[in-house]
C-alpha cells in the first residue's frame, strides 16, 4: 500500500525531474513544433487540407517501423506476464489515455481475455473518456494514487502512453510501478523525455510536428494506436490465441461474432457451414475447442484438456505440445 511518506518522497523526486523548466521543454518537443508543410493551413481549400493531412499521415508507419525492436521486446514481456497470471495495465491522459482505453476494452471481445487481464487507467477517471478533464494530467500525486490502487507487482506490465513523454500524471505512475517491481514501458513520440527515465523500455515513434501544432490526437495519436495494436495483437498471438492468421479466440456474444466464429472454423478446417455450426455447438460455443476437436480428431473433453495443458495456446493444443514462450 502506498504510504503518505512514500508518496511525498517519490513525488518530490519526480517533481524535480518532470517540472523543471516545463515551458522550455515543451518548446523543444517535435510534437509541439510548427509544421512547415501546413503553413497557411487556414487559407487552404478542403481538397488542399485533406491532401496535406494525408501526406503527413503517410509518415506515421515509417516512424513506428523504427521502433520495432522495442515493440517486439514489449510484446514478449506482455505475453510472459499474461501467461504467468499477471496483467497489462495502460496508463495515460487526454488523447493518449483514450487510445489506451480503446485498446484495452477491445481485448475481451477479440481474444476472450478476462476483464482484469488488460486494464487501463485514465487521468480523470472513466468520465474523462468522453469529457475533457485534462487538468488531472498535471498531478503526479494522482498518477501515483491511481496506479497504487491497482497494486502493481513483478508479474505485471505497466505501459505509460504519453505523446509528449512529459505528462506528470503518467510519468509518476510509471515510476511508481517500476519501483514496486512491475515491468514498465512507455509509448511516446519524442526522444529524451522524462518518461524515458521512468520506464524500463521506451518505444519512440517520432512522427514530427503536427499539421495543427500540438494537436497530438493526429499523427501522434495514430502512431500510438498502431503501437498499442501491435503490442496486444503480438502478445495474444504469442500466447496462441491466434491460429494461422485467424482470430480463433473470438468471444461469440452477438450475431456478428457468432457468424465470424463459424466462418473462422470453416476456413481453418476447410469444412462446410453445417459441419462448422454442429461442431461449435458440440464444443459449447467455443471456437478454440471446436478447432482442436476437428484438427486433432479428438472429442470435447480431450480438446478441453489439451487447451488447459497448453494455457489456451490453440496450435500447441492441436499438436499436444508443452507451452514454451
- Residue 202's region, left for phi above 0, alpha for psi from -120 to 50, else beta, is beta
DSSP string covering 145-177: HHHHTT---TT-EEEEE-SSS--HHHHHHHHHH
Could you confirm whether 324 is annotated as catalytic?
no
Could you confirm whether 106 is annotated as catalytic?
yes
Q: What angle do CA 250, 255, 260 make, to 5 degrees?
A: 40
Of 70, 137, 140, 206, catalytic:
137
Q: What angle do CA 81, 162, 9 make, to 5 degrees?
A: 80
Q: How many angstroms separate the CA atoms of 289 and 196, rounded?
A: 42
The C-alpha cell that represents 25 in the structure block:
521543454
How large is the angle between the packed helices 287-296 and 255-269, nearest 10 degrees?
Answer: 20
Instruction: Tell which residue, 234, 83, 99, has the closest CA to residue 160.
Output: 99
Q: How many angstroms separate the CA atoms of 98 and 133, rounded?
A: 12
Of 36, 48, 56, 106, catalytic:
106
CB-based contacts of 21-24 (< 8 A; 24+ apart in sequence): 22/166
Q: How many angstroms separate the CA atoms of 209 and 231, rounded?
A: 25
Report the catalytic residues: 106, 137
Amino acid at each position: 500500500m502506498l504510504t503518505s511518506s512514500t508518496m511525498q518522497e517519490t513525488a518530490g523526486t519526480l517533481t524535480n525531474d518532470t517540472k523543471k523548466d516545463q515551458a522550455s521543454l515543451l518548446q523543444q518537443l517535435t510534437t509541439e513544433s510548427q509544421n512547415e508543410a501546413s503553413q497557411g493551413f487556414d487559407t487552404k481549400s478542403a481538397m488542399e487540407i485533406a491532401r496535406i493531412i494525408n501526406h503527413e499521415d503517410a509518415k506515421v508507419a515509417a516512424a513506428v517501423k523504427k521502433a520495432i525492436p522495442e515493440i517486439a521486446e514489449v510484446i514478449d514481456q506482455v505475453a510472459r506476464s499474461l501467461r504467468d497470471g499477471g496483467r497489462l495495465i495502460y496508463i495515460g491522459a487526454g488523447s493518449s489515455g483514450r487510445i489506451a482505453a480503446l485498446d484495452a476494452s477491445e481485448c475481451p471481445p477479440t481474444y476472450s481475455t478476462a476483464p482484469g487481464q488488460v486494464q487501463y487507467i485514465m487521468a480523470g477517471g472513466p468520465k474523462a473518456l468522453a469529457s475533457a478533464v485534462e487538468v488531472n494530467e498535471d498531478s503526479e500525486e494522482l498518477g501515483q494514487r491511481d496506479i497504487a490502487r491497482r497494486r502493481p507487482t513483478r508479474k505485471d506490465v505497466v505501459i505509460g502512453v504519453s505523446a509528449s513523454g512529459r505528462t506528470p500524471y503518467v510519468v509518476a505512475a510509471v515510476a511508481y510501478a517500476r519501483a514496486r517491481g512491475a515491468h514498465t514501458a512507455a509509448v511516446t513520440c519524442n526522444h529524451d523525455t522524462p518518461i524515458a527515465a521512468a520506464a524500463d523500455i521506451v518505444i519512440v515513434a517520432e512522427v514530427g510536428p503536427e499539421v495543427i501544432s500540438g494537436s497530438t490526437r493526429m499523427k501522434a495519436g495514430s502512431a500510438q494506436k498502431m503501437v498499442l495494436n501491435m503490442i496486444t495483437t503480438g502478445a495474444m498471438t504469442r500466447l496462441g490465441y491466434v491460429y494461422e492468421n485467424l482470430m480463433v479466440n473470438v468471444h461469440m456474444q452477438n450475431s456478428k461474432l457468432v457468424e465470424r466464429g463459424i466462418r473462422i472454423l470453416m476456413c481453418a478446417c476447410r469444412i462446410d457451414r453445417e459441419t462448422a455450426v454442429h461442431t461449435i455447438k458440440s464444443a459449447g460455443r467455443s471456437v478454440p475447442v471446436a478447432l482442436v476437436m476437428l484438427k486433432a480428431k479428438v472429442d470435447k473433453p480431450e480438446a478441453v484438456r489439451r487447451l488447459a495443458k497448453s494455457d489456451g495456446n490453440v496450435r500447441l493444443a492441436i499438436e499436444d505440445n508443452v507451452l514454451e514462450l
